[in-house]
Copies of this chain bind each other. A is one copy, B any other.
């Protein structure tokens, strides 16, 4: 029996509107799975055989060029949906950034289930539209923002995202202090920069007293207003 308590709760996020019987049915076709940090779950250009719902942890969606350049095109947090339903191939790899637990479904099973449960499809549509909005605003960042603007925007986004998903034990609202689920290289891959530029911008913000960097991956926002100003 795969339907643990947390799994049910997280799946509920994509199920609001379904009645309890349906939620149980969905859980019945899902299988819980642990993924450790760095471990891939889905490969770019592979047949789309599975989709999943994130229970906890953070995962990255990436695309790469043949010569090894990588771009992170999305980040999945708890209760986010990953994989490509209704499509033959997935256009992005999915790799865990932290140890993560997911609830995986065979794509065929999930597609069939979704098609016969309009409320679930509706929820999925809403999420996909929201993700598209987020992705488009990230295009503006990649195409038109400077390195300092990128870093500031990134820190603000992280502060919001990590607070809202409860990855930091902090009351609601943007987190003042948080632990990045990214290495410097991964931050660079999100922002379309190099690791050196990311590092330099971080220390610059630290020297200016805008943020503090108490540990490798920890960030404390000291002056949110100037971050907002810098983000443009």
Contact = CB atoms under 8 A, between A and B. Distances in A.
B71 A129 contact: no
A135 interface: yes
Contacts of A140: 63-65, 71, 73
A173 interface: no
Interface of A: 61, 63-67, 69-71, 73-74, 84-87, 91-92, 115, 118, 121-122, 124-126, 128-133, 135-140, 142-145, 191-192, 232
A132 B133 contact: no
A44 to B, nearest CB: 10
Given A67-B232, A70-B144, A135 B128 contact: no
Contacts of A85: 129
B144 A139 contact: no
Given A71-B140, A118-B121, 8 more contacts: A65-B145, A71-B143, A86-B129, A121-B121, A128-B132, A139-B139, A142-B142, A144-B192
Contacts of A121: 118, 121-122, 125
Contacts of A91: 133, 136-137
A144 B65 contact: yes
A115 B122 contact: yes
